[in-house]
A and B are shown apart, each in its own frame.
Chain A
């Protein structure tokens, strides 16, 4: 297939996934802010949401103080924030529009409808009301997007690039979420596995749809290291890093064919780390170090995929 087409499909999927993850972050932060007796200040509560999206500086330059209303607007609707949900969905739709031929008409119409529906939220003050409905809507549209791709697309390269985009983006988001939360919620003097506020960790789990899975697997109180294990090493947890690499690695094997691509090697290496790694070792090394290293490697993987298949000069 055309490199440009593959590029658009890959980014379309990444942007949809990005919007979903941003909605999850907003939703979980919002529900934490509703917990009575929240010890944290409003700013302390909402800052992590900005950190996960990776643009605290840009926010502070535009808005100054960190407060709920501004952060919500910035992350959901701000047209000047390149990673706002607004821009993610807009970019997803623009990418889809550029290659509408390469997907099934159901897939295209689904994304086009998403964008048309989005207009109902524009101008709405989400901080005042409707944030939860908005986040639910974004998540539902993302589910629908994956469903329509899965249910209608031929299992060819086009489908592979869509899947690739979804999981590269998801791996990045899960790693960031966990990193920011872990860093913040674990007081330095406290030992790993110490008492951590149940609400906050359960919120983290809920933000990646892992709360019920946790209960089912561990049937125990929520402790940070198990949360980390669930989101890093458990391959049966669909938003874990391991699960993402389980998807990415075989796709790159198949796309590379007889070619020796750096992205294939890199994915294999990352995959092996997650597949054979032990949580104990990761903690000993420092979870934060592990996660930031993962985020860097995953970025590099993205760049290598770009180089091998997607950029206009690929040939």
Chain B
């Protein structure tokens, strides 16, 4: 689908087709000035250095089904994505608002279901396979279901951001936000002197504080653990990394057992009670007695203890019903319903193929739409109309017609691009943004995000399973006004100055 690059908003240039022109967006001015004097081979050697370091640290993921030694790196791009302080304020407020409403929705849907009674969300949602009847009537501490939420954002113009999807089950990628930053600071220390970049490395501490806060009432010094499927899981590095950063045990299902309505871990000094489980195992595998009976990953009896309040799970069981693509369309309405506020972030206009008119329209416009499976994730089960062959479109058409309610369709968004180091030099590649919203006593997020980049020219699919890479995201502190820009430009020729801690370096709190 090679379209003219002019069609896409570029994060650095006003006009992506003229890479050398100095019409850069003002937040990128200092960066661009620096970049234009750096020869390609120097950037390339930095990229290689990063790869070597990532390998040494073992920031790798396993590819399922391949022989050992097949540990892969998620490609890392050395050119950062910059976000101005003003943009960030808007995005973070919007993401926080959204997560608050989603948590209220989850509490409601598993209790009195007011939103269904009000006719805002159809009762058919209760038939969604991600709705867990086991959770009905269960009270979770602080009424928080999605303790960690990844909100996927895309941009189509200077002022237009959309929420592409909410990730409320076991969202991943935060380790890349943290490790990419460490890497950038190591590779390009001079840039960190020139820009005031908000810090992100306190994320694990905020998360730990939140997790301790959601232990059952009355527990003084709760034991928090991270439950991982184990070293062969593709996200194992992230599990290990976060557990280490929080100083908590990284456990596997076999390390835990249930006794007397409590969960214990097996230690060298005998059983030790566990109060909060940050679990990175899907609902389906968490308790073989209730869900997938073949699962070796979970803990038999865990759900029963959980329902009786003997342990806290983060995220809660049953959050999938709120981030399902069929539920997504109702989120703006939820925000109005629960918070009485106007949504700060927009949804992508979405066609529900269970509706006759939407189905009709979609089938007539398949070549220009993106069609997604409602319960799909990871970029599988998806049709990108403009990039698909006639044959692919016709095959997908049959799948849609046989089960229309399984699909939604959206216009192909002109995702913004960001300059990216590729073999031939620096070229625009499409990006998205996933900030991580943390809910504890308050709802917060650290000023940063996972930025995923589709490395293939023209590709709009940023998932790492589909060849996507990552970039460091720099949330800038107060560089929006002219004087700051001039100062940062002037800093290029003067003595570099140190980062000062201003507004965004603290955790943003809105609650």
Residue ranges of A at the interface with B (Cβ–Cβ < 8 Å):
1-6, 94, 97-102, 105, 108-109, 112-113, 116, 157, 161, 255, 257, 309-310, 312-315
Contact = CB atoms under 8 A, between A and B. Distances in A.
B268 interface: yes
A4 B264 contact: no
Contact of A309 (B249, B265, B268): B268
A5 B57 CA distance: 20
A157 B268 contact: yes
Interface string B240-255: 1001100001111011
B270 A315 contact: yes
A286 B417 CA distance: 79
A224 to B, nearest CB: 41
A157 B249 CA distance: 14
Interface in B249-282: 249-252, 254-255, 257, 264-271
Among B57, B250, B268, B269, which residue has the most Cβ atoms of chain A within 10 A? B268
28 contacts: A2-B251, A3-B255, A3-B267, A3-B268, A4-B254, A4-B255, A5-B249, A6-B268, A94-B231, A97-B58, A99-B250, A100-B240, A101-B240, A101-B244, A109-B57, A109-B58, A112-B55, A112-B56, A112-B57, A112-B58, A113-B56, A116-B56, A309-B268, A314-B267, A314-B270, A315-B257, A315-B264, A315-B266
Contacts of A112: 55-58
A314 B270 CA distance: 7
Dominant SS among interface residues on chain A:
helix
B252 A4 contact: yes
Contacts of B254: 4, 312
Among B254, B257, B269, which residue has the most Cβ atoms of chain A within 10 A? B269
Contacts, number: 70
B234 to A, nearest CB: 14
A3 B269 CA distance: 8
Contacts of A255: 268
A310 B269 CA distance: 10
Contacts of B332: none
Contacts of B252: 4
Dominant SS among interface residues on chain B:
mixed
B94 interface: no
Given A257-B269, A312-B254, 17 more contacts: A1-B249, A1-B268, A2-B251, A2-B266, A4-B251, A4-B252, A4-B266, A5-B249, A98-B230, A100-B58, A101-B240, A310-B268, A312-B255, A314-B266, A314-B267, A315-B270, A315-B271
Contacts of A100: 58, 240, 244
Contact of A109 (B56, B243, B255): B56
A2 B249 contact: yes
Contacts of B251: 2, 4
A273 to B, nearest CB: 27
A312 B253 CA distance: 11
Interface of B: 55-58, 230-231, 240, 243-244, 249-252, 254-255, 257, 264-271
A310 to B, nearest CB: 7
B58 A108 contact: yes
Contact of A312 (B240, B266, B269): B266
B231 A97 contact: yes
A113 B58 CA distance: 9
The 5 closest A-B pairs by CB, nearest first: A101-B244, A309-B268, A98-B231, A315-B271, A101-B250
Contacts of B240: 100-101
A105 B249 CA distance: 15
A116 B254 CA distance: 30
B257 to A, nearest CB: 8
A310 B230 CA distance: 18
A116 B60 CA distance: 13
B268 A101 contact: no
Among A2, A113, A257, A309, which residue has the most Cβ atoms of chain B within 10 A? A2
Contact of B265 (A2, A98, A105): A2
A43 B120 CA distance: 84
Nearest to B251: A2
Contacts of B231: 94, 97-98
A116 B55 contact: yes
A61 B268 CA distance: 40
Nearest to B230: A98
Contacts of B243: 101
B274 to A, nearest CB: 11
A143 to B, nearest CB: 19
Nearest to B271: A315
B268 to A, nearest CB: 4
Contact of B268 (A97, A105, A113, A314): A314
A168 to B, nearest CB: 16
Contacts of A108: 58
A161 B251 CA distance: 18
A240 to B, nearest CB: 28
Nearest to A257: B269
A193 B23 CA distance: 89
A255 B268 CA distance: 9
